[in-house]
């Protein structure tokens, strides 16, 4: 039986508020550190990371407005650096009951926002596990937000990762050019039952790995630099519409 006495309600409120403050503090600290890391990397971006290996990349490497190496180039060649601008951005509509722990009831009125934000972080961490299954050797949550909408939580998140597959060998005796390509993995929209959307995202990650493997066969190297998966659910439906695209970076021999 639930205790709905005033003291019990106050205790619940304090507990949820404290958890919300703790969660917000942790995310703020993480994002602050992330920002500092990116700022420091901005300083590192004055220099081509391949220069110490005697490898010359002749074009498309600079962000000319800021006079630093472009983030796409750094995401391509700094394979072991998790802060090198590789990211996965996704959205998902997750049933509330799927986010509840064993024996847990739906959040009470007024607490839905705290519930949605906290579970969004945990869900994003689960998405990192999916990346580790398919394409990543390491993964971290950059940010995650959740909005409570009736029987679902609408989640948006950004992850950063290092790539599991090796980039490829580069020969210092030849000159290289940097190239980028974007591939739409859905050719428009695809539809999926809401409860299986996470499996569909797994398919997209595997497809991105397969495409990068094909690029590597032609160019000798490839990096997955970015994946975008958007999802939205139409009203009065348990189906979701999904769109997915991936960006790849690679170096081509000039001679």
pLDDT on residue 107: 80
pLDDT at 66: 62
- pLDDT value of residue 231: 95
Give pLDDT, residue 201.
97
Give the Cα separation of 181 and 226 in Å (integer).
Answer: 11
- Residue 131's pLDDT is 98
CA–CA dist 183, 176 (Å, integer): 22
pLDDT confidence of residue 23: 42
pLDDT digits (tens, 9 = 90+) for 132-191: 999 999 999 999 999 998 888 999 999 999 999 999 999 999 899 999 999 999 988 899
* Helical ranges in the chain per DSSP H: 6-44, 71-77, 96-99, 112-134, 197-219
Domain ranges of the chain: 32-253
What is d(CA 220, CA 213) in angstroms, rounded to the nearest whole number? 9
Q: Helix/strand/coil (H, E, C) string of 84-120?
A: CCCEEEEEEEEEHHHHCCCCCCCCCCCCHHHHHHHHH
Instruction: State the pLDDT at residue 7.
Output: 43
| pLDDT under 50: residue ranges of the chain | 1-43
Tell me, what's the pLDDT at 222?
98
pTM over 0.85: no
């Amino acid at each position: 039986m639930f205790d709905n006495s005033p003291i019990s309600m106050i205790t619940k409120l304090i507990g949820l508020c404290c958890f919300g403050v703790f969660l917000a503090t942790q995310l703020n600290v993480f994002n602050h550190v992330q920002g500092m890391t990116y700022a420091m990397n901005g300083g590192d971006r004055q220099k081509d990371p391949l220069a110490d290996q005697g490898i010359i990349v002749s074009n498309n490497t600079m962000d000319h407005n800021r006079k630093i190496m472009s983030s796409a180039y750094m995401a391509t060649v700094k394979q072991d650096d998790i802060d090198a601008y590789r990211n996965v951005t996704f959205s998902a509509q997750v049933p509330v009951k799927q986010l509840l722990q064993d024996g847990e009831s739906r959040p009470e009125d007024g607490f839905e926002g705290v519930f949605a934000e906290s579970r969004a972080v945990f869900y994003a961490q689960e998405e990192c596990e999916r990346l580790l299954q398919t394409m990543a050797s390491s993964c971290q949550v950059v940010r995650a937000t959740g909005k409570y909408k009736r029987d679902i939580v609408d989640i948006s998140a950004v992850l950063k990762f290092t790539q599991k597959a090796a980039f490829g060998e580069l020969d210092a005796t030849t000159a290289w050019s940097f190239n980028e390509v974007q591939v739409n993995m859905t050719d428009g929209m695809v539809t999926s039952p809401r409860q299986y959307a996470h499996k569909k995202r797994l398919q997209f990650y595997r497809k991105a790995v397969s495409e990068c493997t094909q690029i590597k066969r032609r160019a000798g190297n490839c990096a997955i630099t970015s994946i975008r998966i958007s999802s939205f659910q139409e009203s009065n439906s348990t189906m979701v519409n999904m769109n997915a695209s991936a960006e790849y970076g690679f170096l081509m021999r000039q001679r």
